[in-house]
A and B are shown apart, each in its own frame.
Chain A
Amino acid sequence: MQKILSVIKREYIQIIRTKGFIIGTILGPVLMAAFIVVPVVVQFISVDQQEKIGIIDASGETFTELEKKLDQKLKDGSRRYLLINFPLKDDLESLREELNQKVLQKELTAYIFVPADISGDGEAEFVSEHVSDFDKRENFNRALSGIVIEKRLKCEGLDPLRISEYMRPVALVTKKVTKKGVERDAGGTFIISYFLVLVLYMTLLFYGQIILRGVIEEKSSRVVEIVLSSLKPFQLMAGKIVGIAAVGFTQYAIWALFGLAAARYSKRILTGFVPAAESFPMPSIPSYILVYFVLFFIMGYFLYATMYAAIGSMVNSEKEAQQLIMPVVMFLVIPILLMMFVIRSPDSTFSVVLSMIPFFAPILMLLRICVLLPPFPQIVTSLLLLLLSIVFMIWLVAKIYRVGILMYGKRPSFGEILKWVRYS
């Protein structure tokens, strides 16, 4: 036991110290936060500048309406869009050419062409150098449509105000029934499920790879037999797997701290940039989900770690390992591909069966737990099946590892590996 502890300590310290770990752990959440916060912030920063928009109003009556509708203000109180009317002369084409030039010379950000029959089938045009600013496009489209719809309604003798009152959509509030009662859900469940499952998937993949690399390093540097002069192959394997699990927990702990800080301050920070965020309910993760998350991470980790260790012991280099690792990675990828299906129908027979299969269980059962807490017996069954497979895997892999770790040269065939299992 003392020796396994030494191995655990070595693995832990060696990995914690690597640049990869430090960067992955610290920078990971920072990057993730940046991905969410920066675009929001940038969007609100970049608009704080007046834009000149040219208007060619062939209908002759849209310009004033448009000026009324597009009245968004900048922080200093001036108009966000300065609309400039270009009266239509005889030749439309030369006017358009003139405006095209103005756009290219940056005198105008864009111009809008309103056709004479805008109330009929006419197509309005938004002409700009940058047509990818969908926010701006959306603004103009909404304003134009509003003007035209109002005009059409008036032609029919209808009151636009009353019509828009009638057309008000129904508010559909999503609520989630749990044993504790009914609670409001603004899509948070979906985001959290997605997020947790992806974190689980990435970490399983990541730590599997670390184990694989570690075993191959021990083998290719030929240190393994020196170590084995002091302990059993099983002790070495167990120490390595547990040591790297400890690294995983350290990483999770750091991320959890980030998460707590984010949960506490994110709303305040977000509200600072976007006042509207005040009313947006922040998703919160129920504690039982976190417990299951840790449980399934541990289970999934041991299941996959043993497989990665076995593969590492069979090969001589990481390159050789890549082919063998494919099926194992597939076991992780398949549940990710099935995720959308399970989210949509978490209690269908197919989903239930999939979440019982040990290789898929860590990801899919966790997903089901997030989306719709399955009956307790189902969770217990999947955990038990997982545990049984882990025990079986450790038994099997220990045999492969014991022989493989000291075999150099040609990669063993499947038949040879079977022989190792049978004879050792």
Chain B
Amino acid sequence: MNALEIENISKRFGNFYAVKSLSLKIPQKTVYGLLGPNGAGKTTTIRMVMNIIIPDTGAIKVLGRKMDEEMKERIGYLPEDRGLYPKMKVGELLQFLSELKGLRGQEARRRIDYWLERFDLSDWKQKKVEELSKGMQQKIQFISTVIHDPELIILDEPFSGLDPVNTKLLKDIMLEMKKKGRTIIFSTHRMEQVEMICDNICLINKAEMVLEGNLSLIKKQYGKNSVVLDYDGDASFVQGLAEVAKVDDYGKSMEIKLKDKADPQELLNTLVSKIRIDKFEVMEPTLNAIFIDKVGDRDAKDTVSH
């Protein structure tokens, strides 16, 4: 059984397609990345899965069933637009949100305490939400998403606004949940996070899917025709070299996509004489490069700079 099956869903707002003929199958017990630039349709897709927006056409099956209100107790959902009741105390708020998930009494209290401890927020239990920092509030929001130990966890931009320490903590918890057999779907436009934890990905651009599948398979498809270079000096000439198809220059490092059948060795020969090289690695393209390749430079820059 798949954790999520989306069949040919479309959603239009006026004349604008937010999602167009999208089909997906997400296997259970995997981490699935929903990628795409801003406005690509990720959030709309997720909202349709959550039954918040009704698709114009198509069907969605969650955990083998049509989505309904009962299913919401088996799903944990962290929306992109998220916040908390500012005037409520942290403990009360988590109590309330667990009740909405059908979790009550002793068990709810035990889990709330466990998660607050885990996120180092125990001292804040009796404080009002408005006294918490943004990052703390985000952790509370995450707790409310997983407090009922859902089978399927859907996170819309879970890392936005988190510092590196908490990003790592969240990533560790996500992997831990995967190990426990949960399915995690999350959307992001930060490629390095995806490469670290995703089994499968789907890339959406302008309401349509442009790429889908197993992350390592996708990378293999692209072949080992990329070079990552750390350098010192003026490397502007690289763009014009015969072997080079495309360059992403970051100033001190660059990712070079080679033309078909070009020999990396020859490229290295050329480079050595002109600039100082700290690192030269032939590898599969990074997801970032694939993303840019698929989405197109202009769209991607909007995303990356975001």
Residues of A within 8 A of B (CB): 2-3, 6-7, 10, 14, 217-218, 221-223, 225-232, 406, 408, 424
- Complex CA distance for A424 and B55, rounded to whole angstroms: 11
Excluding A3-B99, A221-B85, A226-B77, 5 further A-B contacts by CB distance (< 8 Å) are A221-B84, A223-B85, A226-B97, A230-B72, A231-B100
Total contacting residues, chain B, CB less than 8 A: 29
Quick one: given A2-B102, A6-B100, are A225 and B69 in contact (CB under 8 Å)? no
Report yes or no: A225 in contact with B96, Cβ–Cβ below 8 A.
Answer: no
- Complex CA distance for A3 and B101, rounded to whole angstroms: 8
Report yes or no: B85 in contact with A230, Cβ–Cβ below 8 A.
Answer: no
Quick one: given A226-B141, A229-B77, are A217 and B102 in contact (CB under 8 Å)? no
**In the complex, per-residue mask of B97-127: 1 if CB is within 8 Å of any chain A CB, else 0:** 1011110000000000000000000000000
Quick one: given A3-B100, A14-B88, A226-B97, are A231 and B81 in contact (CB under 8 Å)? no
- Complex CA distance for A225 and B86, rounded to whole angstroms: 15
Report yes or no: A231 in contact with B82, Cβ–Cβ below 8 A.
Answer: no
- Complex CA distance for A7 and B84, rounded to whole angstroms: 14
- Complex CA distance for A329 and B100, rounded to whole angstroms: 34
- Complex CA distance for A222 and B144, rounded to whole angstroms: 14
Report yes or no: A225 in contact with B81, Cβ–Cβ below 8 A.
Answer: yes
The answer, among A6, A217, A222, for a CB contact under 8 Å with B81, is A222
Report yes or no: B101 in contact with A230, Cβ–Cβ below 8 A.
Answer: yes
Quick one: given A6-B96, A230-B101, A231-B100, are A225 and B52 in contact (CB under 8 Å)? yes
Residues of chain B within 8 A (CB-CB) of A6 are: 96, 99-100
- Complex CA distance for A129 and B52, rounded to whole angstroms: 73
Quick one: given A14-B88, A225-B82, are A232 and B69 in contact (CB under 8 Å)? yes
- Complex CA distance for A226 and B85, rounded to whole angstroms: 10
Report yes or no: A406 in contact with B52, Cβ–Cβ below 8 A.
Answer: yes
With both chains docked as a complex, state the minimum distance between the C-beta of A218 and any C-beta of chain B, in angstroms: 8
Question: Taking CB as reference atom, which chain A residue is nearest B87?
Answer: A14
Residues of chain B within 8 A (CB-CB) of A231 are: 69, 72, 100
Residues of chain A within 8 A (CB-CB) of B86 are: 217, 221
With both chains docked as a complex, state the minimum distance between the C-beta of A5 and any C-beta of chain B, in angstroms: 9
Report yes or no: B79 in contact with A229, Cβ–Cβ below 8 A.
Answer: yes
Q: Is B185 among interface residues, defined by CB-CB distance under 8 A?
A: no
Question: Taking CB as reference atom, which chain A residue is nearest B148?
Answer: A230
Task: Tell me what chain A mostly uses at the interface: helix, strand, loop, or mixed.
Answer: helix
The answer, among B47, B81, B100, for a CB contact under 8 Å with A230, is B100
With both chains docked as a complex, state the minimum distance between the C-beta of A371 and any C-beta of chain B, in angstroms: 43
Residues of chain A within 8 A (CB-CB) of B85 are: 14, 217-218, 221, 223
- Complex CA distance for A424 and B101, rounded to whole angstroms: 25
- Complex CA distance for A225 and B79, rounded to whole angstroms: 6
**In the complex, per-residue mask of B36-70: 1 if CB is within 8 Å of any chain A CB, else 0:** 00000000000100101010000000000000010
With both chains docked as a complex, state the minimum distance between the C-beta of B13 and any C-beta of chain A, in angstroms: 10
Report yes or no: A228 in contact with B96, Cβ–Cβ below 8 A.
Answer: no
Question: Taking CB as reference atom, which chain B residue is nearest A236?
Answer: B100
Question: Taking CB as reference atom, which chain B residue is nearest A13?
Answer: B92
- Complex CA distance for A14 and B97, rounded to whole angstroms: 14
- Complex CA distance for A10 and B145, rounded to whole angstroms: 19
With both chains docked as a complex, state the minimum distance between the C-beta of B202 and any C-beta of chain A, in angstroms: 21
Residues of chain A within 8 A (CB-CB) of B76 are: 229
With both chains docked as a complex, state the minimum distance between the C-beta of A138 and any C-beta of chain B, in angstroms: 54
- Complex CA distance for A408 and B81, rounded to whole angstroms: 10
Report yes or no: A229 in contact with B50, Cβ–Cβ below 8 A.
Answer: yes
Q: Can you list 5 A-B pairs, Cβ within 8 angstroms, ordered by A?
A: A6-B96, A7-B100, A217-B85, A230-B101, A231-B69
The interface centre, meaning the residue of A10, A218, A231, A232 with most chain B CB atoms within 10 A of its CB, is A10
- Complex CA distance for A7 and B73, rounded to whole angstroms: 16
Question: Taking CB as reference atom, which chain B residue is nearest A222?
Answer: B83
Quick one: given A6-B99, A10-B96, are A229 and B83 in contact (CB under 8 Å)? no
Residues of chain B within 8 A (CB-CB) of A230 are: 72-73, 97, 100-101
Report yes or no: B72 in contact with A223, Cβ–Cβ below 8 A.
Answer: no
Report yes or no: B72 in contact with A226, Cβ–Cβ below 8 A.
Answer: no
Residues of chain B within 8 A (CB-CB) of A225 are: 52, 79, 81-82
Q: Is B75 among interface residues, defined by CB-CB distance under 8 A?
A: yes
Which 4 residue pairs across A and B have the least CB separation, nearest first? A222-B83, A230-B100, A229-B77, A225-B79
Report yes or no: A223 in contact with B84, Cβ–Cβ below 8 A.
Answer: yes
- Complex CA distance for A380 and B83, rounded to whole angstroms: 46
Quick one: given A14-B87, A232-B69, A406-B52, are A227 and B82 in contact (CB under 8 Å)? no
Residues of chain A within 8 A (CB-CB) of B78 are: 226
Residues of chain B within 8 A (CB-CB) of A227 are: 97, 100
Residues of chain A within 8 A (CB-CB) of B50 are: 228-229
Question: Taking CB as reference atom, which chain B residue is nearest A228?
Answer: B52
Question: Taking CB as reference atom, which chain B residue is nearest A226?
Answer: B82
Report yes or no: A229 in contact with B75, Cβ–Cβ below 8 A.
Answer: yes
The interface centre, meaning the residue of A3, A7, A229, A231 with most chain B CB atoms within 10 A of its CB, is A229
- Complex CA distance for A230 and B84, rounded to whole angstroms: 14
- Complex CA distance for A307 and B38, rounded to whole angstroms: 35
With both chains docked as a complex, state the minimum distance between the C-beta of B130 and any C-beta of chain A, in angstroms: 9
- Complex CA distance for A10 and B77, rounded to whole angstroms: 21
With both chains docked as a complex, state the minimum distance between the C-beta of A211 and any C-beta of chain B, in angstroms: 15
Residues of chain B within 8 A (CB-CB) of A217 are: 85-86
Question: Taking CB as reference atom, which chain A residue is nearest B100?
Answer: A230
Residues of chain A within 8 A (CB-CB) of B52 are: 225, 228, 406
- Complex CA distance for A10 and B89, rounded to whole angstroms: 12
